[in-house]
Amino acid sequence: MTENKFLAWDKKITEGVMVVKDRKGWGIVYEDGRSEEYGWIPMFDAPIHEYEFCEKTTDVTYKGSHHEKELETGELVNVRKTVTIEILKEKND
């Protein structure tokens, strides 16, 4: 029988807003150092934006961006992302 015991842990919580559509978040799909392409990506990978800077979905891009129409199809939602790191010690019986 194997029983796990925690040696240590660390937790990081990030709160803010995210643009979401069909359970996907808006973020960088492709990046090569010279260019970036944005689109709908897994929510876990999408950036979380600060509440005070995002009142509508298009606030995550610049005014006049060719992404504005697509961003308007999404919804701005409040989110909390919690990442926990646990260091385990195994005890074998």
Whether pLDDT at 66 is above 50: yes
- Each residue's pLDDT tens digit, 28-50: 999 898 998 999 999 999 999 99
SS3 7: strand
What is the C-alpha separation between 18 and 71, in angstroms, rounded? 11
- Residue 8 has phi, psi (to 5 degrees) of -165, 165
Whether pLDDT at 63 is above 80: yes
Residue whose token pair is 């646990």: 86
Q: What is the pTM of this model?
A: 0.78
Mean of pLDDT values over 42-68 = 96
